[in-house]
Amino acid sequence: MALSAPANVRAPSRVGTLIGRAARSREVTLAAVVVVLSMFVWFEAPNFLSSTNLISVTALTAIIVIAAVGEALVIITKNIDLSVESTMGLVAFVVAEMLKGQNIPLPAAWALGIGLGLALGMANGVVITIFRVPSIVATLGTLSIYRGLTYWVANGQEITTSDLPNGYTDPASQTIFGVPLFVILAIAVVIVAALILRYTVFGRQVYAVGSNAEAAATIGVGARSTVFLVFALAGMLAGVAGVLWGIEFGQLYASSASGESLAVIAAVVVGGVSISGGSGTVVGAAIGALFLGLINNALTVLNLPQEWLQVIYGAVILLAVVTDALVQMRTQRAKARSRMR
């Protein structure tokens, strides 16, 4: 293994640039689709661009974007986190429960919620890296365990806005220079994550572990510590998403955020992050989330039957991965051709 490693060193960089080019085109094409679709929806239903609709569509999308950034990090390392919806639900409920019972300041409750998300992500990381349980099995387990904890905390109760301190849901409708607060937060998360992935050692390690864990180990990149960190970060971001979920809805059930794992993973996959690891960007994942959020809203403002939403989600995921496969086939063919010359 140690002998074959030097021969492999060049290959990933060449493949890396090719994949990078393909991924970049994915972000550009997807962004173009988003723009065209928005214009079409605006043309058909002018109230699409009304500020109330924009704030409501962007708030939920921003939450999914933040969770999707964490999920993208995980998937780039060739893992998966199915428990993200339960982390969001548990954090949202616990924050509300703390505010309902005790008289603690809002920011403290939010910080505790994010800390809880971090702890849940670290628990995933421990099971996956120390006990070497495949991430799909580990997070399938914590998907139901974290949800069960929420039922335990809820104890058959739900939390309504009247239980919560005044101003709890205010940040959801706040804007800065006309831009919703949630959107600014989501953009900040995406930019920071993108910079970390691109310019830090840790970022390189994330891609290295995802594209070839063994090769990464031979050049001194510890797959386990990187994967642990990535799950901790994903948990923390799911915690942020959970806090925002509580602020956005104000009314919380033990089953809050159920089914959102699908939306988050779909956003990441549609955004061009390969489930086989090692390629994709958080910007792509964010645009993927925006695209799916736009489809969701388009059905509403165009008065189309909401039943089709999941059908469209499924079709869009399939379309995205088939496109990826086509692009990959073409680059491989091109590579084979250039090698012949």
Partner 1 sequence: MTEDPRATGGPDALQPSAEVSIAAGGHSVSAMSRVGRSLLAAARMETFLIVLLAFVVWWGVKLSPYFLTWSNFGFSIQAVIEISIMSLAMTPIIITGEIDLSVESMVGLSSCVLGWLWASGVPLEVCIPIVLAVGVLGGLFNGFFVVRWGLPSLVVTLATYALFRGLGHVVLGSTVVTDFPASFTNFGFGYVPGTNVPWTLFVFLFLAVVTVAIVHGTWIGRQVFAVGKNKEAARYSGVRVGALKMALFAVSGLVAALAGILLTSRTSAATPDAGLNFTLAVVTIVVLGGVDINGGKGTVPGVILAVLILGTLKSALTEAGISTDYQNVAIGLLLIISVVTPQLARLVRELVDRTRLGRRRPAHDPAPGEVVR
Handedness of CA 205, 208, 212, 217 (dihedral sign): negative
Handedness of CA 12, 16, 17, 18 (dihedral sign): positive
Q: Cβ 148 to partner 1, closest distance in Å?
A: 3
Residue 40 as a binder of partner 1 (CB under 8 A): the answer is: no
* C-beta closer to partner 1: residue 132 or 337: 132
In whole angstroms, what is the distance from residue 179 CA to residue 62 CA? Answer: 12
Residue 141 as a binder of partner 1 (CB under 8 A): the answer is: yes
Residue 301 as a binder of partner 1 (CB under 8 A): the answer is: no
Residue 303 as a binder of partner 1 (CB under 8 A): the answer is: no
Q: Could you tell me which stretch among 138-146, 185-193, 197-205, 278-286 binds partner 1 (CB under 8 A)?
A: 138-146
Residue 112 as a binder of partner 1 (CB under 8 A): the answer is: no
Q: Which of 39, 195, 318, 334 binds partner 1 (CB under 8 A)?
A: 318
Q: Cβ 262 to partner 1, closest distance in Å?
A: 6
Q: Which of 55, 80, 90, 227 binds partner 1 (CB under 8 A)?
A: 80
The residues in 86-105 that bind partner 1, with binding defined as CB under 8 A, are none
The angle formed by the CA atoms of residues 71, 73 and 79, to the nearest 5 degrees, is 75
Residue 120 as a binder of partner 1 (CB under 8 A): the answer is: no
Q: Which of 69, 88, 94, 138 binds partner 1 (CB under 8 A)?
A: 138
Q: Which of 149, 208, 264, 286 binds partner 1 (CB under 8 A)?
A: 149
Binding mask 198-237 for partner 1 (x = CB under 8 A): -------------------x--------------------
* C-beta closer to partner 1: residue 157 or 173: 157
Nearest to 60 by CA among 303, 304, 295, 313: 295
- Residues binding partner 1 (CB under 8 A): 80, 127, 130-134, 136-138, 140-145, 147-149, 151-152, 217, 254, 262, 265-266, 269, 275-276, 305, 307-315, 317-318, 321-322, 325
